Structure 1
Amino acid sequence: MNKEVENLINEILSDFYLKTDVKYKIHNSVNLSLVRYFNFRLKYIAIVPRKIMISKELLKSIENNNSLNILSLIQIFNKASKGLDINPFQSKQSFNSNVHDSLFNDWGIHHLHISHEKATDQDFFNRRTGPLLFVRFTNDTAYFIDIKPHNDKNVWSNRDFIRILKNNWPESIERFEAGFRIYPDLDDSDIGILRNKGYLFGINVDDKSYLLLGHGQATSGDNMMASRLANNVWRWVGEHIDLIQNNKSLFKKKLIEQLYMN
């Protein structure tokens, strides 16, 4: 690949990370740098208004948890509805392009801390909390699934999240149905083990089976969609390589558009 293009991509990515205060590493492989960049972009919650959907199970969890800060939850719902920034409720690790969120990669589910307080006025992220709010975001809808304790190691592979989506809004994950029973029939513990090893697999939830709910996870831990998005960039570069010689500034502008930075 043209060395000038590689240097330009590294320059654009470095400028982006510095402006957004995202932890990053420029890798020897420019392709890996691109994949890790798209890993972050996929985890980042786009700031757009969304329809708010709250599951019956979440409402029950709220009702049964007297220590829960209900006002904080309502504020999160309102922010999501109005298109305000939800990212401060994410884990700090979500803004590290080299840290993988296997729950998100596998099932497309975010986890949010529910505090509105910050350690200092300069902090971007809110304080961490024991209970976590699990949400599946689409371009126009936020599906608030349930609240679970942060310190439960089994929570991250709990099929109840998918069960709640299936029982409350089956149409939201209908396109991920496999149409056949998946074998072996993995339990929650199996899912956690295989996910940590980087395996790609489908799951059975009651009478339904699902594949690639979160685009899938490669053995490297990267989101498989991140790899496809990086390949799209390389495809565009190959089709417009002559432009860098004729009009470098225009090439850079168009490349930034391919990276969804404008």
Structure 2
Amino acid sequence: MKLITDFKSDWHELLKSVMTYKWDMDTSGLDKDIPVHYFNAQQRRIPARPRQISIADIFACPPEHQAGWNSLQQKITQGQDLSPHLSKFIDDVGKTDLMLSDWGVYHLHLGTKLKGRYTNRTGPLLFARVTGDSFYAISVYTHDDWTDAEIVEAIHRNWPESIACWALQGMQPVEKLTSEQRKALREKRYNSFVQVKDGTTYAPVGGGYMFSGHSIFAITEMDKEHDFLECLERLIPDLMPKLLPELEKRGYSDASDIRVSLVLTDLAYFAHFTEYGIATELQKRHPGPWRDVVSKNAQDLR
């Protein structure tokens, strides 16, 4: 008996289907590192769910954009989709967001009218840190403020507990970087620390980025899931004695290779014996950052 499995490829196809059919991204040229592109695209989106808004002490919104800010606040608290306010580049599979990967800060447009799938673009942009339940509104900035250290300073001063895990103990940079120096480092894809006024030093709050521009988060999540899928594949040979009688009823003979594919539902990982129409549960679904993966209905596994 020869078992043919490639759970990694099966998983890649699931991720690709999310990018194509749920996020409407052009994945036609995507043939490798699919999880990296998936996690990069997923990190740049804000899942729709109600959040509590906290406003920084430096927050200021230009009067001409107050209506846009009022509308956005309502959407945030009601848990509406904020994608229309994000960059149009979230639909481009090759684009990255260096400020997000560096500092964990999103930028949102304050337009009030939809033009296609997006609100009208605004020069001033709202910078915000977003977590599962909270929306931390820092202030409204211009397109030239991507590397202004006051952004991290404001997060530290107003919500230090939200970034405490990134604070470095007993380590400080030799000198503080200027905005221009930080911009030059980002353009070359070099990660850097930020020291705020009270001396606290932070590693990249957004997790940092690779030379490709993709977030380190995307790389590590891909590696972790690949390791997990390899473990699942190794479970299958031990399950075969129990499954063999049912496979034989459905036409299996000892000389046949058996193709086993990965199938995900909302509840579990399944090994699906493709040619014989049966499946067995391998592992309950664990919470993960790619939970938006398209799941097949359990009916499909019977």
| Partner residue of 1:248 out of 243, 261, 283 | 261
In the alignment, structure 2 segments of 5+ residues that lack a partner are 238-257, 271-284, 296-302
Mark the structure with the bigger radius of gyration: 2
CA 1:99–1:33 in structure 2 vs 1: closer, same or farther (change >3 Å)?
Answer: same
Q: 1:2-17, aligned counterparts within 5 Å?
A: 4-5=6-7, 7-17=9-19
Residue type of the partner of 2:137?
Answer: F
Counterpart in the other structure of 1:46: 47
Contact 1:13 1:37 in 2 (8 A): yes
Q: Which has the higher helix share?
A: 1
TM-superposed deviation, 1:26: 4.6
Counterpart in the other structure of 1:93: 89
TM-superposed deviation, 1:247: 5.0
| Partner residue of 2:24 out of 21, 33, 51 | 21
Q: Which has the higher strand share?
A: 2
Q: 1:141-220, aligned counterparts within 5 Å?
A: 141-150=134-143, 152=144, 155-179=145-169, 180-207=171-198, 208-220=200-212
TM-superposed deviation, 1:250: 3.7
CA 1:24–1:158 in structure 2 vs 1: closer, same or farther (change >3 Å)?
Answer: farther
Counterpart in the other structure of 2:36: 35
Residue type of the partner of 1:107?
Answer: W
The alignment's TM-score, normalised by the length of structure 1, stands at 0.85
| Structure 1 segments of 4+ aligned residues over 3 angstroms from their partners | 2-7, 23-28, 242-247, 249-253
Contact 1:50 1:80 in 2 (8 A): yes
CA distance in 2, matches of 1:28, 1:71: 43
Counterpart in the other structure of 1:126: 119
Matched, 1:233 2:225: yes
Counterpart in the other structure of 1:56: 57
| SS of residue in 2 equivalent to 1:221 | coil
Contact 2:193 2:203 in 1 (8 A): yes
| SS of residue in 2 equivalent to 1:12 | helix
CA distance in 2, matches of 1:11, 1:176: 34
CA 1:219–1:25 in structure 2 vs 1: closer, same or farther (change >3 Å)?
Answer: farther
TM-superposed deviation, 1:46: 1.1
| Partner residue of 1:108 out of 97, 104, 107 | 104
Contact 2:105 2:127 in 1 (8 A): yes
TM-superposed deviation, 1:156: 0.8
Counterpart in the other structure of 2:246: none
TM-superposed deviation, 1:106: 0.2
TM-superposed deviation, 1:88: 1.0
Residue type of the partner of 1:8?
Answer: D
CA RMSD of aligned residues (A): 2.4
TM-superposed deviation, 1:254: 2.5
CA distance in 2, matches of 1:199, 1:43: 20
| SS of residue in 2 equivalent to 1:104 | helix
TM-superposed deviation, 1:177: 1.2
Residue type of the partner of 1:138?
Answer: T
CA distance in 2, matches of 1:7, 1:26: 16
Q: Tell me which moved more, 243-252 or 45-54.
A: 243-252
CA 1:117–1:251 in structure 2 vs 1: closer, same or farther (change >3 Å)?
Answer: closer
The alignment's TM-score, normalised by the length of structure 2, stands at 0.75
CA distance in 1, matches of 2:159, 2:228: 37
Aligned length: 247
CA distance in 2, matches of 1:215, 1:129: 28
| SS of residue in 1 equivalent to 2:195 | strand
| SS of residue in 2 equivalent to 1:133 | strand
CA distance in 2, matches of 1:46, 1:224: 20
TM-superposed deviation, 1:7: 4.3
Counterpart in the other structure of 1:138: 131
